[in-house]
Amino acid sequence: MKKQLSLILFFLLLGAISALAQEKRHNLSLSIGGPVGGYRYIGSDNDYYQQYGNDLKSLYKDTESVSSGTALMLGYSYRLNRYFALGGDLAYGMYSQTITPGAAKTHRDTREYDAFVFSFLPNGKVYYYSDEGFDVYLRAGIGAEFSTGSRDGNRWRTAWQITPLGIHVGKKFYYIGELGVGTEYIVRMGIGYSF
The 10s digit of each residue's pLDDT in 29-58 is: 999 998 764 434 344 444 444 444 444 445
Within a domain: residue 2?
no
Query: What total number of domains does the chain contain?
Result: 1
> Which range among 8-12, 55-59, 172-176 shows the weakest confidence by mean pLDDT?
55-59
Domain-located, residue 63: yes
Residue 19 φ/ψ region, left for φ over 0, alpha for ψ in the -120 to 50 degree band, beta for the rest: alpha
We report the CATH number of the domain holding residue 185 as 2.40.160.20
pLDDT for the residue 15: 53
Has residue 7 been placed in a domain? no
| Model pLDDT, residue 114 | 79
Specify which residues 181 forms β-bridges with: 162
Q: How far apart are CA 33 and CA 69, in angstroms?
A: 9
Per cent of the chain over pLDDT 90 is 42
Count the Cβ atoms, other than its own, within 10 Å of residue 78.
13
Question: Which of the two residues, 28 and 4, has the higher pLDDT score?
Answer: 28
Tell me the whole-structure pTM to 2 decimals: 0.70
Q: Mean per-residue pLDDT for 79-107?
A: 79
Domain-embedded: residue 172: yes
Q: Where are the beta strands (DSSP E) in 8-133?
A: 26-34, 64-79, 84-100, 111-131
**Does 183 fall in a domain?**
yes
14 pLDDT more than 60: no
Structural domain boundaries enclosing 64: 25-194
- Residue 80 pLDDT level (bands cut at 50, 70, 90): very high
* Cα-based distances in Å from 66 to 35, 81, 98: 12, 43, 5
In a domain, 6, yes or no: no
pLDDT of residue 36: 62
Give SS3 for 123.
strand
15, part of any domain: no
Most confident of 58-62, 111-115, 157-161, 170-174: 170-174
SS3 18: helix
CA 156 to chain centre: 17
Average pLDDT value for the chain: 78
pLDDT in tens, 94-115: 877 776 665 545 555 667 777 8
Q: Does residue 45 lie in a domain region?
A: yes
